[in-house]
Amino acid sequence: MSRRNLTQLKSDCISSYSLLYLPLCCPVFEEPEDPSNRSFFSEIISSISDVKFSHNGRYMMTRDYLSVKIWDLNMESRPVETYQVHEYLRSKLCSLYENDCIFDKFECCWNGNDSVVMTGSYNNFFRMFDRGQRRDVTLEASRENSKPMQVLKPRKVCAGGKRKKDEISVDSLDFNKKILHTAWHPQDNIIAVATTNNLYIFQDKVN
């Protein structure tokens, strides 16, 4: 390597190294904790497993064990939106701790125009939250419903009480089936979700 190239390499390394230690303003995004909800599992379930900036650069999305939160970058005191992913598991935290599921790290993602967010859950379920309409849906990725042109049917979980015909009991969920990884195409309504060794790709129905 020539002396000129070596000098340039050293310069690039110093520039990159210096960038990591610039005195930046570092606001801390933290939501005040409700003391009444404090428990042995509080620190574990509030641990952030994924973070993504929105495409327009204004928001930041974080995923913890039970929820997805949307933060305005100009307001670090509390999230501007909170979506409960599987709140019905709060009563199962002891069992989830014993089988180590409470340490699962779920990812999250935005759609192309930041209007919908998606994340995974158990039983091969994944959740979508429409930010504008304030609606959400639970869908399932499985071999049975991944046939060409087949429309996914919304799924519902019954947390207690009398279970309806189209609902699944929270006690029947398979915690070995989990969708930890999700991705949304940047231009089209095409999503990819991964569960164990299977990758599923879904898209809007084409008329």
User: How many residues in the chain?
Assistant: 207
pLDDT tens per residue across span 112-161: 999 999 999 999 999 999 999 989 999 999 877 666 667 888 899 987 76
Task: Give pLDDT, residue 66.
Answer: 96
Residue 65, token pair as written in the block: 């064990």
Identify whether 128 is part of a domain.
yes
Identify whether 31 is part of a domain.
no
pLDDT tens per residue across span 58-108: 999 999 999 999 999 988 889 999 999 999 999 999 999 999 999 999 999
Q: What is the number of domains present in the chain?
A: 1
CA distance 37 to 207: 48
Task: Give pLDDT, residue 10.
Answer: 36
CA distance 15 to 20: 9
CATH code of the domain containing 193: 2.130.10.10
Identify whether 196 is part of a domain.
yes
CA distance 169 to 108: 25
Identify whether 44 is part of a domain.
no
Identify whether 4 is part of a domain.
no
Identify whether 16 is part of a domain.
no
Identify whether 26 is part of a domain.
no
Identify whether 152 is part of a domain.
yes
- The whole domain housing 164 covers 49-203
Which residue type occupies 49? S
Could you tell me what percentage of the chain is helix, strand and coil, using 3-state DSSP and rounding each to the nearest 5? 20, 30, 50
CA distance 184 to 190: 6
